[in-house]
Amino acid sequence: METKPKKEFSPKGGMKMEKKFKGKEGQGPKKKFGFTKEGHGAQKKFGFSKDGQGAEKRKSSEDDEKTDWADYKLRKKELKSHRQETEKKDIYVILKDCTKEKKTKLMDELHQMIKGKIKQFSNHEQRQEVFEDLKADMVVLSKSKYGRHLVKKLLMHGKKELVGSVIQSFKGSVRVMLRHANASSIIEYAYNDKAVLAQRLMLTEELYGNTFTLCKEMIEAIREAVVYMAYTHDGARVAMHCLWHGTPKDRKVIIKTMKTYMVKFATGEFGHLVLLSIFDCVDDTKLIKQTVLAELLTSLDEVINNKYGKKVLLYLLNPRDPDHILPEVIRFLEKGDNNAHSKKEPATRKKELLEVVSPPLLQHLQDNASTMVRDKGLSVMVRDILLSAVGDLRPAMLAVVQPASLELVPGGVEGQLHMAEHPAGHMVLKWLIEQDALLAKAEREERFSRILVDTVGVDQLRSWVCVNRGALVLCSLLKCVDQSVVSEVRSGLTAILPKLKKVTNNRGVENIVEQLTAAQ
């Protein structure tokens, strides 16, 4: 019986296992990771060849590279030394032999030699050259134990332009410098002794953080939209801050966008505050005249009879008068004082604006005196116009006196009280008589008391004693600054003194009697 040959073992049911990897034709199968078919060991691919000479070649190459690199560095060092010797010439040998310890000692000696004598050793051009060479290192020098003295001397003895440049070099590093023991003294000296207002603001604005810096960019972005937000409480305050801290160009843009809306601003509860800020900080009074005041004075009757419009006009006559503006509003307006962009003196700005509004206000008072003196709200306007307006006050004073020259009938005629008996009218007379002292102090020639006595006459004035308010006006005349008026009124009232002594329940008459008897 013929025996069958044994089958080769196969993991899959007797099938012969095929080789997974095949090489090129005529070659054996490829192995991964650089191993050969014969299994002669693990020859690595990189750095070795079949004949085993790769490692030696690579080592030789590395030695050549090291030799070349060392030579390169040597040649570079020689080149640098030659360049320094060429540039520095005579001092090269000294510098070459100057160790760190020797350098420190020499710097200490030099510092002691020139301490307090910097100004003697240099002029402006030399100091400027020193700054130009070191301007990028001003902050670093300020932190240095000895370098800070150089920075301080530049501030101390430098001209205005140099000081400004030194301070400008601190920008962006103020907070860091203030926390440094040496640099903080430089910031303190620059702020207290050398910086002008704009430079002080620059030094301090960094203390407010990034929000403050972003808000300053913000003004330019929103200046054309201010007109739309200034009618609300918060919007008006944003507009005021924009005017205070904006550049002259920002202010001009804001004011021009408000054109044709000035009366609306003036008569608004919050908008009128924006106009007050304009009067406070804008130096270009010609621009204010052509835009703001031109519109207000064209509609003067509307503005002067409005609660808030009246405040705007009174502010032009007498800024920040606590009689017309609440203390908290005055405090808020003061936040805009000493801003970086207002250069004109407040008194100069006020005078220039007052010269514009005075003639129209005096004319308006002259045309509407009989109505204004009997209006409680406008009576203060009469007083302030005749106190602060520039120009000839006499025509307006005569217009105010005319209603007082009429015959006084106690209780009035057809319900119309005489000016001396009217609640507002008699106060106007008293204010203007007492105000003569202020006019005299300001070296003004006009005297309301003189015009009143000349227009009404002493005989007519004596009839005012029959009403309490009229008698109080006569008391004011007996104490006025014009002594000729005092003499005439006293003479006229002394003639009826026995009659006055019999009057009861009249406080004004009692005061007259006291003054007359005291003078005898």
- Dist. CA 104–CA 180, nearest whole Å: 23
Query: Widest CA span of the chain, in angstroms?
Result: 182
Altogether, the residues listed in the chain come to a count of 520
Specify whether the CB–CB gap between 276 and 316 falls below 8 A: no
Phi/psi at 413 (5° precision) = -115, 120
* CA–CA–CA angle 478, 484, 488 (5° rounding): 60
What is the chain's pLDDT, residue by residue, as a tens digit (520 residues)?
444 454 444 444 444 444 444 444 444 444 444 444 444 444 444 444 444 444 444 554 555 555 578 788 888 887 877 776 676 666 666 666 777 787 778 777 777 776 666 556 567 788 788 888 888 899 999 999 888 998 998 999 888 899 999 999 999 899 899 999 999 999 999 999 999 878 887 888 777 666 556 566 888 888 898 888 888 998 999 999 999 999 999 999 999 999 999 999 999 999 999 999 999 999 999 999 999 999 999 999 999 999 999 999 999 999 999 999 999 999 999 999 989 899 999 999 999 999 999 999 999 999 999 999 999 999 999 999 999 999 999 999 999 999 999 999 999 998 899 999 999 999 999 999 999 999 999 999 999 999 999 999 999 999 999 999 999 999 999 999 999 999 999 999 999 999 999 988 889 999 999 999 987 6
Residues 6+ apart with CB under 8 A from 424: 373, 374, 375, 376, 379
In the block, residue with structure tokens 């005297």: 447
- Dist. CA 363–CA 21, nearest whole Å: 115
Q: Give CA 488 to chain center in angstroms.
A: 56
Within 258-325, where are the H helices? 262-266, 271-281, 285-288, 294-298, 300-304, 307-317
If you ran DSSP here, which 8-state letter would residue 390 be given? Answer: -
What's the pLDDT at 122?
66
- Dist. CA 43–CA 402, nearest whole Å: 127
| Dihedral over Cα of 357, 442, 324, 258: its sign | positive
What's the pLDDT at 21?
40
Q: Measured between alpha carbons, how far is residue 266 from residues 63, 303, 308, 357 in Å?
A: 90, 7, 6, 15
Give 232's strand partners.
Answer: none
Would you call 304 exposed, middle or buried from its count of C-beta atoms within 10 A (0-12, 13-18, 19+)?
buried
Residues 6+ apart with CB under 8 A from 132: none
Across the chain, how many H-helices and E-strands are there? 33, 0
Phi/psi at 425 (5° precision) = -60, -45
